Amino acid sequence: MEGIKLAMTQTKEEHFSRDFLASKAIEDFQAFIGRVKKSVPFYQAKLSEIDPESIRTLDDISRLPFTHKADLREAYPFQMLGVDMSRVQEIHATSGTSGSAVVTAYTAHDLKLWGEAMGRVFRRAGVGPDDVVHNAYGYGLFTGGLGMHYAALEVGAAVVPMSGGYTQRQGKMLKDLGATVICSTPSYAQHIAEAMGEMGISRDDLHLKVGIFGAESWSLEMCRELETQLGITALDVYGLAEIIGPGVASECLIGHEGLHVAEDLFYFEVIDPDTGRPVPDGESGELVLSSLKREATPIMRYRTGDITRILPGPCSCGRTRRIDHIKGRVDDMFTLRGINLFPREIESELLRIEELAPVFQLVLDRNSALDILEVHIEPKDHDIVHEHLIHKVKTHLNRTLGINVAVSVQEPHSIPRSEGKAVRLVDRRNLGR
Amino acid sequence: MEGIKLAMTQTKEEHFSRDFLASKAIEDFQAFIGRVKKSVPFYQAKLSEIDPESIRTLDDISRLPFTHKADLREAYPFQMLGVDMSRVQEIHATSGTSGSAVVTAYTAHDLKLWGEAMGRVFRRAGVGPDDVVHNAYGYGLFTGGLGMHYAALEVGAAVVPMSGGYTQRQGKMLKDLGATVICSTPSYAQHIAEAMGEMGISRDDLHLKVGIFGAESWSLEMCRELETQLGITALDVYGLAEIIGPGVASECLIGHEGLHVAEDLFYFEVIDPDTGRPVPDGESGELVLSSLKREATPIMRYRTGDITRILPGPCSCGRTRRIDHIKGRVDDMFTLRGINLFPREIESELLRIEELAPVFQLVLDRNSALDILEVHIEPKDHDIVHEHLIHKVKTHLNRTLGINVAVSVQEPHSIPRSEGKAVRLVDRRNLGR
């Protein structure tokens, strides 16, 4: 009950007016430009011609230069650093096997900022001191694990730092330690639920009430599937290491009415990915984020590559602006004989077919000049006739999305399960070129 | 230079007199007994007959009952909990695939206690705000990763939360992010050093100055080996989840003169494992620890199973009482035809043979009634004649430890490297019984 009360305890920052946020954003951009021109090597060059005083309206902001992922890669490891290393407290990286890792850093102030943003995520989900949080996001350089960890500390919940892996142990601990909250990628939560089924642990053996899932885009159908399997309300959380980690936006307990953005902490815009100009509210485009208040690696107008839209009007919970669930990534979108598609749209349709296990993989290949999509599926049990399933999937996808696909039925449990971000799309079209 | 200065900044707690600590310990035990008899189910039964006021001398303490690992396993999951779950902030477990996991928990107060203990470990090692800490201890339920993480936050250093795994990336990040401190198990540090060698990264490419290694017992020879490979001072840290995690004791920068115990936070004794009575200073025995001030899972007179001794006199750094490096575990000790041995003693001798790679495994088997020890070794390079090596190892171990062993030379890189605690001893004597 305490959880529910907390969910309703919204901070005043979540009700700032548009006008107030706009004037704050202009101040923030002015201060940011003044500061980073002195301290961040990358922005010294990039903003040399720009006078902070010239930023007076939102339209002035929307004409400032973007920061691209390639910029961050080139800045490896520390060309984006805005403070002396003696002030840095934590360093994360988005990948690191090649030279193309993106390094992001935090001062003590930045960790507090992250804690505040993540605290709001947990409060929106009704998580408070009485809760036990099973945290199956990977700890380490990936910001998922420590982000959720700090959130639990922030709201006074108990955190079980499971990290990823040892999936059977995840199931056992979920049951034995009485977790009320589960945090992971949605695909890993599915994998854990599947493992629990094999171990004979059912949702009635658990005390779960809410799941906080993110780090990959997922459909409403997958959400419903997780809610049924685990007996929870499944909420979407969004964020990225370049900005702060998880905590940029999340759903509230009211329902699946979009993600509330911590817009006083992270300025956001939705733009046309081709022209770079803002799109009207309600229209889909690329999300652009600024973490102007971060000290160690602050960033201006970052092209996230994530596709979403601003939802009109406030949420039923009373909180102001929201964005829609991430539809996919700019570079995840593929075109099949003229039709633009995101893996999430296909997931959404596949999960409506009840004979299918909730895992799939898309293989995109090119046969002479034509793109061919092969959908790999698994039947829920051995008895289902493959021909029936193939026909059903082909017909359904043609009817709903207007596409023609090949369908390949795999052995149960043969499609790779993920402990982190799932790989839904395998693109073979560029192989050997 | 700041690091060196900090190392010398010792807290007053590290200079408390024996008498003061004794009177504090008596107070602590009295308060503990009064408290846990009300709140911890396990201790309610165990201490029902004991009146806190009856504890007046150190000898009274040494007659109080022990807590055994089996007690903690039976208490799974929450029978040792001394507070309401709403006050718990973090939960760890020592293992979890069988029902025999040991669960330990932390309130906000306990996390502060842990931070204080770990802060002292880092300060003894000269680690401060100018340092970058590469933390390759595993995060998750194991306390190593988060313990070191909190330590870095406590002293204002920058932590890179590597966690275990992706060993090549560990080497790359060590170099690219300019880490000055490395934290991991000693065997994993060796594995990383080996991987760096293969990648063409040498110690001269690094900025490392100190390593903080623990979670397994290791020899002075292994310490020297790591110091040479990585260009560091290698320091030993000791702790266990049952008490707090890492942070119970550690070496200072002065040299390898033993581990300073945070004895105002964790009361310690060294006992004869057979009689349970204290042994005189300087004599080896089993370490017994009490974490009386921990709120969530406080523990009295815990039989750690670790063999050490109290070193006489203060350290050259001025800090008071110290224990010796852990010689091994009570249950690691094995008897080979009447001679008591610990894997660390054999490690110590093997690392003196310069043709050997610093990895090995001991396989203990029984041939009719006789125990046979087979030592698996790897030559440093392919050119070394196996017969020469076998002869050298057999002769050396016979001369120094008085034992006769079989020697098996393995292909380079074939003995399993560990990312966590190394498995040095494989005991096949009980197989099939």
- pLDDT, tens digit, for every residue of A149-176? 999 999 999 999 999 998 999 999 999 9
- DSSP state letters, B91-116: EEES--SSTT--EEEEEHHHHHHHHH
Structure-block tokens of residue A343: 């893996």
Burial (CB < 10 A; 0-12, 13-18, 19+), residue A219, is buried
Is B236 a domain residue?
A: yes
Within an 8 Å CB–CB cutoff, is residue B73 touching chain A? no
User: In which band, very low, low, confident or very high, does the pLDDT at A427 lie, cut at 50, 70 and 90?
Assistant: confident
* Smallest Cα distance from B62 to chain A, Å: 34
**Same domain, yes or no: B422 and B352:** yes
Which residues of chain B neighbour A139 with C-beta distances below 8 Å?
139-140, 145, 161, 163
Residues 6+ apart with CB under 8 A from B381: B412
Chain segment A62-118, per-residue pLDDT in tens: 999 999 999 999 999 999 999 999 999 999 998 744 557 899 999 999 999 999 999
Q: Given B329, B348, B379, which residue is the final one in a domain?
A: B329
Q: Which of A80, A90, A168 is the best mutation test for B, with the most CBs of B within 10 A?
A: A90
Phi, psi of B211 (to 5 degrees): -120, 140
Shortest alpha-carbon distance between residue B147 and chain A (Å): 12
Which of A310, A329, A348 is where one domain is finished? A329
* CA–CA dist A44, A87 (Å, integer): 20
Q: Is the peptide bond before A186 cis (omega within 30 degrees of 0)?
A: no
pLDDT surpassing 90 at residue B83: yes
How far apart CA B141 and CA A161 sit, in angstroms, is: 6
Q: Indicate the average pLDDT of chain A.
A: 90
The pLDDT value recorded for residue B3 is: 39
Q: What's residue A431's pLDDT?
A: 47
Average model confidence (pLDDT) across chain B: 90
State whether B158 and A90 contact (CB < 8 Å). Answer: yes
Is A161 within 8 Å of B88 when comparing Cβ atoms?
no
CA dist., res. B120 & res. B123, Å (int): 5
Cα A188 from Cα A270, distance rounded (Å) = 29
Asked if pLDDT for residue B128 goes beyond 80, the answer is yes
Closest chain B C-alpha to A385 CA, distance in angstroms: 37
Asked if residue A359 belongs to a domain, the reply is yes
Chain A, window 149-178: residues with a beta carbon less than 8 angstroms from a chain B beta carbon: 149, 152-153, 156-163, 166, 168-169, 172-173, 176-178
Q: Amino acid identity, residue A326?
A: I
CATH number at residue B382: 3.30.300.30
Opening angle at CA B32, ends B30 and B38, nearest 5: 115
pLDDT of residue A2: 41
Residue A293 lies inside a defined structural domain of this protein: yes
Residue closest to B43 by CA, chosen among B71, B77, B24: B71
B83 shares contact with chain A (CB less than 8 Å) = no
Whether residue B278 is contained in a domain is answered as: yes
Mean pLDDT of A188-204: 95
User: Are A343 and A222 in a shared domain?
Assistant: no
Indicate the range of B121-135, B347-361, B410-424 predicted with least confidence: B410-424
Exposure pattern of B84-117 as b/e (b: 16+ CB <10 Å)?
Answer: ebebbbbbbbbebeeeebbbbbbbeebbebbbbb
Which helix (H) or strand (E) covers residue A237, if one does? strand A233-240
| Closest Cα in chain A, distance from residue B164 (Å) | 8
Asked if A35 and A293 touch (Cβ cutoff 8 Å), the reply is no
SS (H, E, C) B352-410: CCCCEEEEEEEEEEEECCEEEEEEEEEECCCCCCHHHHHHHHHHHHHHHHCCCCEEEEC
Residues 6 or more apart whose CB falls under 8 angstroms from that of A98 comprise none
CATH code: domain of residue B325? 3.40.50.12780
Q: Is B298 helix (H, G, I), strand (E, B) or coil?
A: coil
User: Does some domain include residue A412?
Assistant: yes
Q: Containing domain of residue B344, as a range?
A: 334-427
pLDDT at B257: 84
Task: Indicate the pairing of strand B328-329 with strand B299-308.
Answer: antiparallel
* Percentage with pLDDT > 70 across chain B: 96
Q: Are residues A218 and A249 in the same domain?
A: yes
Q: Are residues A224 and A308 in the same domain?
A: yes
**Tokens found for residue A284:** 């889909």
In this predicted structure, the answer to whether residue A318 has a pLDDT above a threshold of 90 is no
Q: Do B158 and A91 touch (CB under 8 A)?
A: yes
Residue B6: pLDDT over 70: no
Same domain assignment for residues A366 and A297: no
Query: Is the model's pLDDT at A8 over the cut of 70?
Result: no
pLDDT exceeds cutoff 70 at B54 = yes
Q: How close B421 comes to chain A (CA, Å)? A: 17
CB contact under 8 Å between A169 and B96, yes or no, is yes
Strands (E), A48-174: 88-93, 103-107, 132-135, 158-160
Helices (H), B157-270: 167-176, 186-199, 220-230
In a domain, B59, yes or no: no
Under 8 Å between Cβ of A365 and A399: no
- Do residues B414 and B292 share a domain? no
In the prediction, which pLDDT does B1 show? 37
- What is the rounded distance in angstroms from the CA atom of residue A354 to the CA atom of residue A351? 7
CA distance B294 to A129: 19
CA distance A129 to A152: 9
Length in residues, chain B: 433
- Using 50, 70 and 90 to split pLDDT, how confident is the model at B99? low
Say what the pLDDT of residue B256 is. Answer: 80
C-alpha span between B52 and B31 (Å, rounded): 7
Amino acid at site A254: I
What's the whole-number mean pLDDT along residues A268-287? 96
Bridge partner residues of A376 (DSSP):
A361, A408
Same domain membership, residue A253 and residue A158: yes
pLDDT value at A3 more than 70: no
B65 falls within a domain: no
Number of Cβ within a 10 Å radius of residue A385 = 11
Is position B204 within any domain?
A: yes
Pair (B386, B243) in one structural domain: no
Inter-chain residue contact A93 with B173, CB threshold 8 Å:
yes
Question: Is the pLDDT score of B312 beyond 90?
Answer: no
A290, two tokens: 């600024």
Identify the weakest region by mean pLDDT among B119-133, B271-285, B413-427. B413-427
- Of residues B59 and B417, more confidently modeled: B59
Q: Which chain B residue's Cα is nearest to A104?
A: B160
Q: What is the pLDDT of residue B16?
A: 83
Q: Which residues of B touch A108 (CB under 8 A)?
A: 156
Distance CA B319, CA B13 (A): 9
pLDDT of residue B9: 54
**What domain count does chain B have?**
2
Burial of A383 (0-12, 13-18, 19+ CB in 10 A): exposed
Rounded Cα distance, A144 and A162, in Å: 12
Q: Are strands B370-379 and B356-367 parallel, antiparallel or unpaired?
A: antiparallel
For chain B positions 108-137, those within 8 Å of chain A (CB to CB) are 108, 111, 129-130, 132
Mode of pairing for the β-strands spanning A181-184 and A356-367:
unpaired
Considering the domain architecture, whether residues B305 and B381 belong to the same structural domain is answered as: no
How confident is the model over B20-45, as pLDDT tens digits? 999 999 999 999 999 999 999 899 98
Same domain, B341 and B260: no
Together in a domain, B379 and B307 = no
For residue A388, CA distances in Å to A348, A352, A426 come to 20, 15, 25
- How many angstroms away from the CA of A68 is the closest CA of chain B? 22
In the stretch 414-433 of chain A, residues with CB closer than 8 A to chain B read none
Closest to A194 (Cα-Cα) out of A347, A360, A359: A359
Pairing mode of beta strands B267-271, A425-427: unpaired
Q: Per-residue pLDDT tens for B396-416?
A: 999 889 899 999 999 888 888
Same domain, A297 and A249: yes
Nearest alpha carbon to residue A239 among A185, A189, A202, A191: A185
CB A373 within 8 A of CB A336: yes
Give B430's pLDDT tier (boundaries 50, 70, 90). low
Which amino acid would we find at residue B292? L
Element (H, E) at B341: strand B339-341
Tens of pLDDT along B217-230? 888 899 999 999 99
Q: How far apart are CA B353 and CA B390, in angstroms?
A: 11
More confident residue, B237 or A10: B237
Nearest to B389 by CA among B341, B425, B350, B344: B350
Q: Is the pLDDT confidence value at B358 over 90? A: no
Instruction: Check pLDDT > 70 for residue B17.
Output: yes
Q: What is the pLDDT of residue A293?
A: 96
Residue A306 has a pLDDT of: 95
Cβ of B273: how many Cβ atoms within 10 Å?
16
Last residue of a domain, one of B294, B329, B364: B329
Helix axes B186-199, B167-176, angle to 10 degrees: 80
Amino acid (1-letter code) at residue B348: S
CB atoms within 10 A of CB A154: 20
